[in-house]
C-alpha cells in the first residue's frame, strides 16, 4: 500500500493518514496497516452473517485475502497451497486405504509424501460435498487453520478440491485421543498404575489452555472441545515422559467478534456444551472454557458434571486439592462473563505449581541457544529465510524436541507465541547482563531489529513456524525429504525449478530486489534455482559464538 500509494482497507488515502511520517519505523507501519486491515476484516465478518449462502464464497475469499495482506511479509500463509485439482494429490501423496478417523462430515486416512520413504507422514481428511452447509464448514475450517500457528494445534499443510470432495492435508499425529488414553487409565487403576494424577493432568490442561489462549486472542472459537478432539502424542528425547497435546477437528470453529457467535443450530457435542450454547446457541470464548472445565472434571473425577444453576454439581471432590477444585469452579461458572479465560487459567496456581519448571541454569542455556538462532536468522539472506520457513512448515514439532524446549524457555507465559517483551528478556538473561561494551539502548535497538526480521508476517509476535525457521538455521541434519517437500511448495508451477515469479509469490519484496539476491544461490547462472542449488542453502550454518554473532546487529541497528 505504501509503495503503490493505494488507499487503506478503510478507504483512507495513505498519504492523508494523520500518522503519515516517513521517519516511522517498520514496526509502526506494520501496526498501522494491520489495524486498518483488521477493521475491514471485522466488517466482512458482519456482512457474511447478513448474506445468503451463495455470497459466502466471495466474502470468504475477500476475508482470506485481507488476512494474508495484513502484514508486510506474510510468508507462511503463502506457502499453504490450495489446489483445485484433486488428481494432483495422487502424484504427491501415497494414501493408505484404511480409515484411521471418522467424523460427522468426513473420514481421515494416513498418507506419506511420495519419495520420502514414509518419513514425512500426513493425515488426509476427505469431506464429501453432500450439501452447501458441509462444503462451507470445510472451507471455513481451512480458513481458520490457515490463520493458526501454535505448537498445540494440528497443522494444515495444503488442501485439494474437486466437484465431489474437499481434501485437507494435515499433520499426522502419532498418538491417541484423550478419550482412549483415559479408558486405558481406568483399566490400569485396578492395579494402582494410574497416570492421571493432578500433576499429569495439569501438564495436559496447560497445553489445552495455551492453544485456546492463542486462538481466542486471534478471535477464533473452537466450539467442540472434548476428549476426542484432544490428541496425546509421545515425543522422543529427554522429555519423553511428558506427552505433547494437539487440538484437532476445527470444523465447527468460527472467527468471531468480541460479543461472540450465535447459531440457530445445536452444534458441537451436547455433553460438553456450555448452558448458553446448548439452550440459546450462543458461543463465545467462555463457552470453550466451560468445555475445558468438563474435560478437566472427567480427567480428575471420572464423570461429567451435573448441570445446575448457578453451579454444576461435582461429586467426589473430597480427594482433590483445594487449588484443583478452585480451577474447576472457575471454569464451570454458569455465567460466561464470570468464567476464567484461557489466559487466566494458564496463570492459575494449580497449573503454575505443576508445570515441571526447569532449573534456572538449564533455562538460561536454552534461552541462549534460542537467541543465537534468532541472530543467525537475522543475518541470513532473504531467500535463505524463505527456504528455512518452507522447510519448517514440512516438519512436525515432535521431530524438533530440543528446539521445542528452547521455544518454551523463551515463551515465559506459555501462550505459544513469543512477545517482544519475552524476546528482550531472553536476550537480557543471555547476553546483556555483564556486557559493558554496549548500552541498554543499543541492546534494545538490536533486539528490535532481530525481532522484526524473525516476525515475518508483522504480527507483533513470533509465532511457532517463524521460530522453527530460525531454529532450523542452527540445526544440523535437515533431512533431504523435508528439503524436497519445501522445494515442491516453492516450485508452485511444477517446472522443476524455482523461478523469480515463484519467489515473488512468497517473499514480500519487489522483483528487482529478489533478482539482486538470486545470483548468490543460482550457481549455474540460468536465472532459476534447481533442487541441488536449493539444497546447498542448508549446507552452511552459523557457527560463531553468541557475542560475535551480535556484532553485526549493533552495526545494522
pLDDT in tens, 51-99: 444 454 554 454 444 444 443 344 677 888 888 888 889 889 999 999 9
Predicted local confidence at residue 69, as pLDDT: 43
Domain end among 148, 171, 194: 171
CA 121 to chain centre: 19
Integer CA distances (angstroms), 226 to 303, 345, 478, 515, in order: 13, 17, 36, 50
Predicted local confidence at residue 444, as pLDDT: 82
Residue 89 inside a domain? The answer is yes
Predicted local confidence at residue 134, as pLDDT: 83
Predicted local confidence at residue 58, as pLDDT: 53
Residue 129 and residue 191 in one domain: no
User: For 484-511, how does the pLDDT look when each residue is reduced to its tens digit (9 = 90+)?
Assistant: 999 999 998 889 999 988 888 887 677 7
Residue 391 and residue 369 in one domain: yes
For residue 546, pLDDT beyond 50: no
The residue range of the domain holding 78 is: 72-171
Residue 103 inside a domain? The answer is yes
Across residues 113-137, what is the average pLDDT?
Answer: 86
CA-based angle 158:160:165, to the nearest 5?
A: 135
Predicted local confidence at residue 549, as pLDDT: 47
Q: Predicted confidence band at 458 (pLDDT cuts at 50, 70, 90)?
A: confident
Residue 52 inside a domain? The answer is no
Strand partners, 99: 109
Half-sphere exposure (Cβ direction) of 154: Cα atoms closer than 13 Å? 28
Residue 238 and residue 365 in one domain: no
> Three-class SS of residue 36?
helix
CA 166 to chain centre: 22
For residue 436, pLDDT beyond 70: no
- Average pLDDT of the chain, as a whole number: 78
Residue 272 and residue 284 in one domain: yes
Burial code (b: 16+ CB inside 10 Å, e: under 16) for 368-396 equals bbbbbbbbbbbbbebbbbbbbbbbbbbbb
Predicted local confidence at residue 84, as pLDDT: 84
Residue 248: DSSP 8-state: -
Residue 467 and residue 438 in one domain: yes
User: SS3 breakdown of the chain: % helix, strand, coil, rounded to 5?
Assistant: 50, 15, 35
Strand 282-283, strand 418-419: pairing: unpaired
Number of domains composing the chain: 3
| CATH at residue 488 | 1.10.238.10
Q: Report whether 394 contacts 468 (CB < 8 A).
A: no
Predicted local confidence at residue 544, as pLDDT: 42
Residue 494 and residue 515 in one domain: yes
Number of neighbours of residue 213 by Cβ within 10 angstroms: 24
Domain end among 353, 374, 398: 353
Q: Predicted confidence band at 127 (pLDDT cuts at 50, 70, 90)?
A: very high
User: For 188-233, how does the pLDDT look when each residue is reduced to its tens digit (9 = 90+)?
Assistant: 666 666 678 899 999 999 999 999 999 999 899 999 999 999 999 8
Residue 96 inside a domain? The answer is yes
> Three-class SS of residue 270?
helix
d(CA 433, CA 22): 34
d(CA 362, CA 342): 28
> To which residue does cell 480451577 refer?
327
Q: What is the pTM of this model?
A: 0.81
For residue 443, pLDDT beyond 80: no
For residue 47, pLDDT beyond 50: no
> Three-class SS of residue 355?
coil
Number of neighbours of residue 18 by Cβ within 10 angstroms: 6
The counts of H helices and E strands in the chain are 23, 15
Residue 123 and residue 108 in one domain: yes
Residue 53 inside a domain? The answer is no
Residue 533 and residue 463 in one domain: yes
For residue 21, pLDDT beyond 70: no
User: For 92-124, how does the pLDDT look when each residue is reduced to its tens digit (9 = 90+)?
Assistant: 999 999 999 887 678 999 999 887 777 789 999
Residue 528 and residue 381 in one domain: yes
> To which residue does cell 451463495 refer?
54
Residue 512 inside a domain? The answer is yes
Residue 11 inside a domain? The answer is no
> Three-class SS of residue 528?
coil
Active site residue 224: yes
Cα dihedral 472→478→479→484 (10° resolution): 60
Number of neighbours of residue 2 by Cβ within 10 angstroms: 13
Burial code (b: 16+ CB inside 10 Å, e: under 16) for 64-102 equals bebbbbbbbbbbbbbbbeebeebeebeebbebeeeeeee
Across residues 303-323, what is the average pLDDT?
Answer: 77
Lowest mean pLDDT: which of 56-70, 84-98, 143-157, 435-449?
A: 56-70
Q: Report whether 393 contacts 157 (CB < 8 A).
A: yes
Q: Predicted confidence band at 35 (pLDDT cuts at 50, 70, 90)?
A: low
Across residues 256-268, what is the average pLDDT?
Answer: 72
For residue 9, pLDDT beyond 50: no
Separation of first and last alpha carbons in the chain: 25
Residue 198 and residue 159 in one domain: no
Residue 37 inside a domain? The answer is no
For residue 148, pLDDT beyond 80: yes
For residue 160, pLDDT beyond 80: yes
Question: Catalytic: which of 149, 177, 224, 415?
Answer: 224
Q: Report whether 168 contacts 127 (CB < 8 A).
A: yes
Edge-first strand order for the sheet with 175-177 is 175-177, 230-233, 244-247
Predicted local confidence at residue 237, as pLDDT: 58
> Three-class SS of residue 449?
helix
| CATH at residue 97 | 3.30.200.20
Predicted local confidence at residue 193, as pLDDT: 64
Across residues 538-555, what is the average pLDDT?
Answer: 52
Measured over the CA atoms of residue 262, residue 263, residue 264 and residue 268, the dihedral's sign is: negative
Cell of 156: 494444515
Question: Which of 36-40, 242-246, 367-371, 423-427 reaches the highest mean pLDDT?
Answer: 242-246
Across residues 154-166, what is the average pLDDT?
Answer: 93
Residue 53: DSSP 8-state: G
Predicted local confidence at residue 240, as pLDDT: 55
Predicted local confidence at residue 6, as pLDDT: 42
Strands (E), 294-429: 418-419
User: For 324-367, how does the pLDDT look when each residue is reduced to its tens digit (9 = 90+)?
Assistant: 999 999 999 999 999 999 999 999 999 998 765 444 555 677 77
Residue 377 and residue 486 in one domain: yes
Residue 125 among known ligand-binding residues: yes
Residue 163 and residue 185 in one domain: no
Question: Which of 184-188, 287-291, 443-447, 543-547 reaches the highest mean pLDDT?
Answer: 287-291
Predicted local confidence at residue 32, as pLDDT: 54
CA 135 to chain centre: 24
Domain end among 136, 171, 206: 171
d(CA 439, CA 446): 11
| CATH at residue 225 | 1.10.510.10
Amino acid at each position: 500500500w505504501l509503495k503503490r500509494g493505494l488507499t487503506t482497507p478503510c478507504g483512507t488515502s495513505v498519504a492523508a493518514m494523520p500518522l503519515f511520517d516517513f521517519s516511522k519505523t517498520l514496526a509502526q507501519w506494520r501496526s498501522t496497516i494491520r489495524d486498518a486491515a483488521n477493521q475491514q476484516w471485522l466488517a466482512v465478518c458482519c456482512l457474511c452473517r447478513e448474506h445468503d449462502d451463495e455470497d459466502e464464497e466471495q466474502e470468504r475469499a475477500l476475508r482470506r485475502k485481507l488476512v494474508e495482506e495484513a502484514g508486510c511479509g506474510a510468508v507462511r500463509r503463502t506457502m499453504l497451497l490450495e489446489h483445485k485439482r484433486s488428481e494432483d494429490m495422487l502424484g504427491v501423496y501415497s494414501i493408505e486405504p484404511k480409515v484411521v478417523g471418522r467424523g460427522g462430515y468426513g473420514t481421515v486416512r494416513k498418507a506419506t509424501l511420495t519419495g520420502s520413504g514414509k518419513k514425512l507422514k500426513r493425515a488426509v481428511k476427505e469431506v464429501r460435498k453432500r450439501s452447501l452447509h458441509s462444503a462451507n464448514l470445510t472451507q471455513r475450517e481451512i480458513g481458520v487453520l490457515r490463520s493458526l500457528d501454535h505448537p498445540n494445534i494440528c497443522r494444515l499443510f495444503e488442501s485439494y478440491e474437486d466437484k465431489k470432495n474437499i481434501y485437507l492435508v494435515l499433520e499426522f499425529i502419532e498418538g491417541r485421543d484423550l478419550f482412549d488414553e483415559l479408558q486405558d487409565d481406568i483399566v490400569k487403576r485396578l492395579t494402582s498404575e494410574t497416570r492421571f494424577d493432578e500433576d499429569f493432568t495439569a501438564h495436559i490442561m496447560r497445553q489445552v489452555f495455551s492453544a485456546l489462549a492463542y486462538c481466542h486472542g486471534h478471535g477464533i472459537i473452537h466450539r467442540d472441545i472434548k476428549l476426542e478432539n484432544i490428541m496425546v502424542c509421545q515425543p522422543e528425547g529427554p522429555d519423553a515422559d511428558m506427552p505433547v497435546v494437539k487440538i484437532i477437528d476445527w470444523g465447527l470453529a468460527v472467527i468471531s467478534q468480541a460479543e461472540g457467535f450465535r447459531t440457530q443450530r445445536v452444534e458441537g457435542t451436547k455433553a460438553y456444551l456450555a448452558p448458553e450454547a446448548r439452550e440459546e446457541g450462543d458461543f463465545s470464548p467462555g463457552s470453550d472454557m466451560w468445555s475445558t472445565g468438563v474435560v478437566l472434571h472427567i480427567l480428575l473425577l471420572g464423570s461429567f458434571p451435573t448441570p445446575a444453576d448457578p453451579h454444576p454439581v461435582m461429586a467426589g471432590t473430597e480427594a482433590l486439592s483445594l487449588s484443583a477444585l478452585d480451577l474447576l469452579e472457575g471454569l464451570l461458572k454458569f455465567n460466561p462473563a464470570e468464567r476464567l479465560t484461557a489466559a487466566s487459567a494458564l496463570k492459575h496456581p494449580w497449573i503454575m505449581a505443576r508445570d515441571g519448571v526447569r532449573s534456572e541454569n538449564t533455562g538460561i542455556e536454552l534461552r541462549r541457544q534460542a537467541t543465537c538462532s534468532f541472530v543467525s536468522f537475522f543475518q541470513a539472506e532473504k531467500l535463505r529465510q524463505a527456504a528455512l520457513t518452507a522447510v519448517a512448515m514440512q516438519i512436525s514439532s515432535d521431530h524438533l524436541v530440543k528446539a521445542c524446549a528452547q521455544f518454551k524457555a523463551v515463551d515465559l507465559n506459555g501462550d505459544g507465541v513469543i512477545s517482544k517483551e519475552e524476546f528482550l528478556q531472553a536476550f537480557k538473561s543471555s547476553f546483556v547482563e555483564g556486557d559493558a561494551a554496549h548500552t541498554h539502548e543499543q541492546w534494545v535497538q538490536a533486539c528490535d531489529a532481530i525481532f522484526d526480521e524473525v516476525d515475518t508476517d508483522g504480527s507483533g509476535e513470533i509465532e511457532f513456524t517463524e521460530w522453527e525457521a530460525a531454529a532450523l538455521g542452527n540445526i544440523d541434519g535437515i533431512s533431504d525429504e523435508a528439503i524436497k517437500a519445501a522445494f515442491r511448495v516453492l516450485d508452485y508451477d511444477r517446472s522443476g525449478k524455482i523461478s523469480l515469479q515463484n519467489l515473488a509469490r512468497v517473499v514480500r519484496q519487489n522483483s528487482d530486489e529478489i533478482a539482486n539476491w538470486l545470483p548468490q544461490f543460482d550457481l549455474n547462472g540460468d536465472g532459476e534455482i534447481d533442487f541441488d542449488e536449493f539444497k546447498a542453502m542448508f549446507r552452511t550454518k552459523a557457527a560463531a559464538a553468541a557475542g560475535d554473532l551480535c556484532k553485526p546487529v549493533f552495526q545494522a541497528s
